[in-house]
Amino acid sequence: MSIKQQETLDAILRQGTIPADTSVDEQRRLLRELLSAQPLPPDLTVTTSTLGNVPTAEVTVDGVEPRHIVLYFHGGVYVLGDAALSADLAAQVGRRTSAKAISVDYRLAPEHPYPAAVDDALAAYEALLQSGTDPADVIFAGESAGGGLAVVTMVNARDRGLPLPAAAYAMSPYVDLTLAGETIKSRRDADPLLSPEALSARVADYTSGQDAGLPLISPIFADLSGLPPLIIQVGSHEVLLDDALRLARAAALADVEVTLDVVPGVPHVFQAYHPILDEAAAALDRAGQFLSARLDVVA
């Protein structure tokens, strides 16, 4: 683990920060440009498909015989990003769990506000179950808003009487759209990617007049009882640090098996920078071990 790596990454991210006061279309373009700058590893195959009429990107890794499925939810504050842009990070989870990753291309706000993303995520999971996939062979994973959506989908599935996946992995989860976390303000200078202004600017796009504290919008306020094992990873240099801390506490109080992994000195969704950051690869390895153990237990 290298302080120099952390400093280099911080500088790179600050140079590429997406302005909070630009249009949604411009933010989408800038994010696509930023994430597309790094080509996908040559051993990945990404195929467009659908689950329950929801578009997906299926990601397989050469040489990895998929025995399980990672249902993956991308980040982007429910407004930005898409399934294919998260293909590498989804594949990193798949590599470590002998799984095919299916990244869900849920509808985005403001064109499709809440509950569109929630409905799409559940529809994709329901379709996976209806195809004959054993839920014991499924894990959920996601970054940022996708980490929150993974938790929301488990809560939604539980409440509808559906069987739950074997485990879930939330990277830098965005779980409180009321923006009440203490670190939203206290970590603003340390965070090279997100700011209170950037988050606040997009909340109304997604909530569209609904209460941001609704449990399926902000799962920090949901009843988490009965959820499967959960691993949460977050960097100490994040405005969303407190979201992760409070989610872990809420899960523990609900008797959910939860592992909270706070990595010092790293930014939001630091796992995405695994080619240049030792902490990222190590964190992905730890998550892979956690998830594989739960898949093996229930398989």
Rounded to whole angstroms, the Cα distance separating 131 from 109 reads 29
pLDDT class of 9 with cuts at 50, 70, 90: confident
Verify whether residue 58 is a known catalytic residue: no
For 41, 165, 169, the CA distances from 233, given in Å and listed in that order, are 24, 19, 8
Amino acid 296: pLDDT: 75
Q: Is the pLDDT of residue 129 over 50?
A: yes
Is residue 233 a contact partner of residue 170, using CB atoms and an 8 Å limit? Answer: yes
At residue 253, does pLDDT exceed 90?
yes
Active site residue 268: yes
Residue 57 banded pLDDT, cuts 50, 70, 90: very high
Contact 72, 143 (CB under 8 A): no
Which amino acid does the sequence have at 141? A
Q: Is 137 exposed, middle or buried (0-12, 13-18, 19+ CB in 10 A)?
A: middle
Distance CA 278, CA 217 (A): 33
Enter the pTM of the model. 0.95
- Compare 30 and 267 and report the one with higher pLDDT: 267
Please identify, in words, the CATH class of the domain defined by 3-298: alpha beta
Which tens digits make up the pLDDT trace of 63-87? Answer: 988 999 999 999 999 999 999 999 9
Select the more confidently predicted residue: 120 or 39.
Answer: 120
- Confidence class for position 59, pLDDT limits 50, 70, 90: very high
Q: What percent of the chain has pLDDT over 70?
A: 98
Q: Is the pLDDT of residue 299 over 50?
A: no
Q: How many residues does the chain have?
A: 299
What sign has the CA pseudo-torsion 218, 222, 228, 232? Answer: positive
User: What single-letter amino acid sits at 31?
Assistant: L
Residue of 86, 103, 144, 195 marked catalytic: 144
Assess whether 144 carries a catalytic annotation.
yes
Give mean pLDDT, residues 242-270: 97
Q: What is the mean pLDDT of residues 8-23?
A: 82
Beta strand 138-143 pairing with 68-73: parallel
Helix 87-97 vs helix 278-298: crossing angle, to nearest 10 = 50
Catalytic pick among 238, 274, 279, 292: 238
Mean confidence (pLDDT) of the chain: 94
How do residues 277-293 score in pLDDT, each as one tens digit? 999 999 999 999 999 99
Mean pLDDT of 117-124: 98
Q: How far apart, in whole angstroms, are the C-alpha atoms of residue 15 and residue 8?
A: 11
pLDDT bucket at 297, cuts 50 / 70 / 90: low
Q: Choose the catalytic residue: 268, 274, 279, 292.
A: 268
Q: Compute the C-alpha angle 55/56/62, nearest 5°.
A: 155
The whole-number average pLDDT for the span 107-115 is 98
Distances (CA, A) of 188 to 8, 181, 278: 19, 12, 24
Which residues are 102's β-sheet partners?
58, 71
